[in-house]
Structure 1
Amino acid sequence: MKRNAVSAGWLSVLFAGLGQLYNRQYVKGLLLVLTHAIGIYLFVTKLYPDLKGLYTLGDKGQHLEKVGKLFKNVPGDHSIFMMIYGVISLIIVALFLAFYILNIRDAIFVGRKRDQGSEVQGLSNNLFPWLLLALPILGVLFFTIMPIVFTSLIAFTNYASPNHIPPKNLVDWVGFATFKKLFTMNSWSDTFVGVFSWTLVWAVLATVTCYFGGILVALLINQTGIKLKGFWRMLFIIPYAIPQFVSLLIMRNMLNEKFGPINQYFRYFGLGGLPWLNDPFWAKVSVIVVNMWIGIPVSMVLVMGILTTIPKDLYEAAEVDGASAWMKFRNVTMPFVMFATAPILITQFAGNINSFNVIFLLTGGAPATMEYNNAGKTDLLVTWLYKLTLDFNQYNMAATVAILLFLMIAALSIGIYSRTRSYKEEDMIQ
């Protein structure tokens, strides 16, 4: 009885490439043996020390040592660099394990073909797509996965100013202590609850106003009897065509309480100006209205494209049945629009939770308040995270907020999308 598959499999377990050599795939086998040997050398000389550094995060920071009668500044371990190298080493080890498992599976697969009497080929054409995909896969691993893992790990350390900033001080693993501090320490928990609540309110209002505002504008322009439709489309698309940061900075100047043109016009007519960006309530109203100005054109263009795909027969049948304009909108137009735009609506909702530009460029999170820790009344979680990182060096707290923000967006997006008609009908088709 032929047992080529078993023999090749165990040889590949012993050392990558031996199974392929046993299966008479000499070029492939030699390449795999060389790769395995290089992997062992790298693990012993580089990867193991880096993995050990990820575990310890260093033994001694930058310090002074007495040399003769003088003190010399001696570089120590840099915990953050050690963490980065450790995460990269983890990814490389994971890639090597995947290579090792695939090597065993390949040896068994080819061995079974030999047992069945099939012809064994050398390097097959199936390798070509993997060669093309290798660079994108490595790019995703090291420029997407690695930063996500690194940021997540920081949340479980005490990496924060003033006592744990390398290279002078080391960083230590603290487990879930930062999460506990965020929810139990009043200065942090009150800020988190306040900013989180406003983030949800903002995301809902920004999404709903832009979405239904876009539908309203698209329906008005699409009405029969409206002349110069091309002009109106161009007029409403201008705010979207202008770079967003330019529009936001212009609106910030226009809403200035003392020198802004809007308050100047109010005073010209004998009315007092409003503290558009300096009062908590009016600042929130201002960011929502300005967001409508730059967000409605996106929904308008999308809906106008969908309106052209709705069969005219449905409207004619509705008119024959005596349906009013509102009934045609509710029973014909809106179902078509919702079906086509539900996934995009959820994407806009998730995007508004992470809407950094509007808040940062318009208010900067202001007005400031003593109720919050390093946050203002219009700060979203993402802008608060930015301040914690770049302004206050509270890296562990920022990483904790980032993890919670990701979990919130993922849970809300998946939960809402799974209840939409688009998802249900797509699931039925499959």
Structure 2
Amino acid sequence: MDRHQHRDRATILSILCMGLGQLYNRQYIKGLLLVLFEAFSVIYFIGNLGYAVWGIVTLGETPRTGANMNGDWDHSIFIMIQSLITLLFVAIFILVYVMNVRDARKIGLERENGKKPNNFKQSVRYVLDYKFAVAFLSIPAVGILFFTVMPIIFMILLAFTNYSAPKHIPPAMLVDWVGFGTFKNLVALKTWSHTFYGVLTWTIIWAILSTVTTYFGGLLVALLINQRGIRFKGLWRTILILPYAIPQLISLLVMRNMFNGQFGPINQYLGYFGLGGLPWLTDPFWAKVTVIVVNMWVGIPVSMLLILGVLTTIPKDLYEAAEVDGATGYQKFRIVTLPMILFTTAPTLITQFAGNINNFNAIFLLTGGDPVKGDYQYAGATDLLVTWLYKLTLNQNKYNMASAIGIIIFIIIASFSIYNYRRTKSFKEEDMIQ
């Protein structure tokens, strides 16, 4: 018998039909399951694969009209979703098919070396003992594929269509592919580009200011609480964490009422002292100042807790050595405390910046993106890209433009986070404190 006979036969049979190689290798239950999986897949593909390819290319051909109200008509968005589901199932089928060939070839090689193939019970036991993590993670992986990856792909595809009100909303109207037309309009068409660049500029300014103020504000509070002469430290921690413990929906809506220009208590108190009230939420400049100040109120406790935890891990020997060398309190902070805090919290600081770019709650609950700017397209003076996206989607049905903005947000956050994280000392010197 040829030395490679089992391996080659098992490989060829598994290529011809999923599971035949396993049946040849005398793994009957595994082989039968794979045969049934391929049979189900083939039946599914016969009924859906052609429709999926046609649908993803054309996005439908027949809109719903009065003449075919109860007949055959196409809904472009439903077709796109169904096509994506089918194509993702094709990807899963190809993966299982490749694994089936590799498994059959591997077992055939073991047979050539005189090893008896595992039966189904032994195979299950092997998976539970040695491949449990992979087997267990495969179930949520499939869920992530269909409930996370597919919506992302769907959003990306929408950006290359004309899916928007009032002319291209199914089923009365069909949706068509327009290539990069949406992105071109967003960055070049004056009515859209003016809004986009304005909102983008404010988003970056907001992300920088809100991150810096909350981080260094939390650093200051943590250092003050950690001083030796401070009594009742637990009480101070409890009081200062309350703004974070209260749900943002409540605290931000309360703040919105407090900063109300006409009836808010803040302007009333200013009036008692002979000071005129300020247009906290109605003037573009003061509205931006207000959201930054309120965000400090909500965000400083988070940074405080994080930095308090870091302060407890700094070896006291470093401070004692600095005192022996005659270092002042400021020098000990600059040479010992600050580098250790930044080393530990740099990844979190980057995460906070990325999170502030998408800080929907702070803007939407406090100002709703207002005050309105007349030269903006469906956006206000305090709108971030994410709140503008929300308005375009939920209020204006400009789904293609909102999808393009979503892609741009992802590119900005991913690029910034990856670039800066790889430059931090905590990434380059991750073994330093081990």
* TM-score for the superposition, normalised by structure 1: 0.96
**Whole-Å Cα distance in 1 between the matches of residues 194 and 27 of structure 2?**
65
Q: Is the 8 A contact 1:57 1:171 kept in 2?
A: yes
2:25 is aligned, of 16, 23, 26, to 23
Q: What whole-Å deviation, never above 9, does each CA across 1:127-182 have from its counterpart, x for those lacking one?
A: 44355334312211111111111111100100000000011000011111111111
- C-alpha separation in 2, matches of 1:202 and 1:362: 14
Residue 302 of structure 2: aligned partner = 298
For 2:153, which of 129, 149, 152 is the aligned residue? 149
Structure 1 residue 198 and structure 2 residue 199: aligned?
Answer: no
Residues of 2 paired with 1:127 and 1:302: CA distance? 40
Counterpart mapping for 1:69-108 below 5 A: 74=71, 76-108=73-105
Number of the residue aligned with 1:2:
3
Please name the residue that 2:64 is paired with. 62
308, 315, 334: which one pairs with 2:319?
315
Q: Percent identity between the aligned chains?
A: 60
- Following the alignment from structure 1 to structure 2, what is the Cα–Cα distance between the partners of residues 316 and 184? 60
Instruction: Tell me which of 208, 218, 224 is aligned to 2:222.
Output: 218
Deviation at 1:298, TM superposition (A): 0.4
Structure 2 counterpart of 1:177, from 174, 181, 197: 181
Q: 1:426 to 1:285 in 2, by over 3 A?
A: same
Q: Is 1:329 the equivalent of 2:333?
A: yes
Match of 2:37 in 1: 35
Equivalent in 100, 109, 112 of residue 112 of structure 1: 109
Matched, 1:239 2:243: yes
Paired AA for residue 98 in structure 1: L
Structure 2 equivalent of residue 347 of structure 1: 351
Give yes or no for the alignment of 1:160 onto 2:170: no
2:103 & 2:139 partners in 1: Cα distance?
22
**Per-residue CA distance 1:339-387 (angstroms, 9 max, x = gap):** 1111111111110000000000001111111221111110000000000
Displacement after TM superposition at 1:122 (Å): 2.3
SS in 1 for 2:429: helix
Structure 1 residue 292 displacement after superposition: 0.3
Please give the alpha-carbon distance, in whole angstroms, between the structure 2 residues aligned to 1:247 and 1:428: 41
* Structure 1 residue ranges, 4+ long, deviating more than 6 angstroms after superposition: 427-430
Which residue of structure 2 lines up, in the alignment, with residue 414 of structure 1?
Answer: 418
The residue matched to 2:162 in structure 1 has which SS? Answer: coil
**Which residue is equivalent to 1:369?**
373
Distance 1:126 1:426 in 2: 35
RMSD over aligned Cα, in angstroms?
1.6
Question: What amino acid does structure 1 have at the position aligned with 2:407?
Answer: I
Partner residue of 1:136?
Answer: 140
Report the residue type matching 1:423 in the other structure: F
What is residue 69 of structure 1 aligned with on the other side? none
Q: In the alignment, is the contact (CA less than 8 A) between 1:63 and 1:73 conserved in 2? A: no
Q: Give the TM-score of the pair, scaled to structure 2.
A: 0.95
Whole-Å separation in 1 of the counterparts to 2:303 and 2:163: 42
Deviation for aligned residue 1:428: 8.4
Paired AA for residue 167 in structure 1: P
Superposed displacement of residue 34, structure 1: 1.1
User: Which stretch has the larger CA shift, 45-54 or 185-194?
Assistant: 45-54
* Inter-partner Cα distance in structure 1 for 2:407 and 2:338: 36
* Closer/same/farther in 2, CA of residues 427 and 52 from structure 1, 3 Å limit: farther
Any gaps of 5 or more consecutive residues in structure 2? none
- Between the two proteins, the alignment pairs up a number of residues equal to 425
Preserved CA contact (<8 Å) 1:218 1:303: yes
Q: Report what 1:44 is aligned to.
A: 46
User: Distance in 2 between the 1:238 and 1:389 partners?
Assistant: 34
Give the structure 1 partner of residue 387 of structure 2.
383
The one-letter amino acid of 1:94's match is A
Residue 75 of structure 1 and its aligned partner are, at CA, apart by 5.7
Write the distance in 1 (CA, Å) between the matches of 2:102 and 2:208.
50
- 2:15 equivalent among 13, 16, 29: 13
Tell me the CA shift for residue 326 of structure 1. Answer: 1.0
Q: 2-side partners of 1:141 and 1:103: how far apart? A: 21
Q: Are 2:273 and 1:276 aligned?
A: no
Q: Does the Cα contact within 8 Å between 1:51 and 1:89 map onto a contact in 2?
A: no
**1:187 is paired with a residue of what secondary structure?**
helix
Report if the CA contact (8 A) 1:63-1:75 is conserved: no
Gap regions ≥5 residues in structure 1: 67-71
| Aligned partner of 1:426 among 402, 406, 430 | 430
Once the 2 structures are TM-superposed, how far is the Cα of residue 230 of structure 1 from its aligned partner?
1.4
**Equivalent residue of 1:362, what SS?**
coil
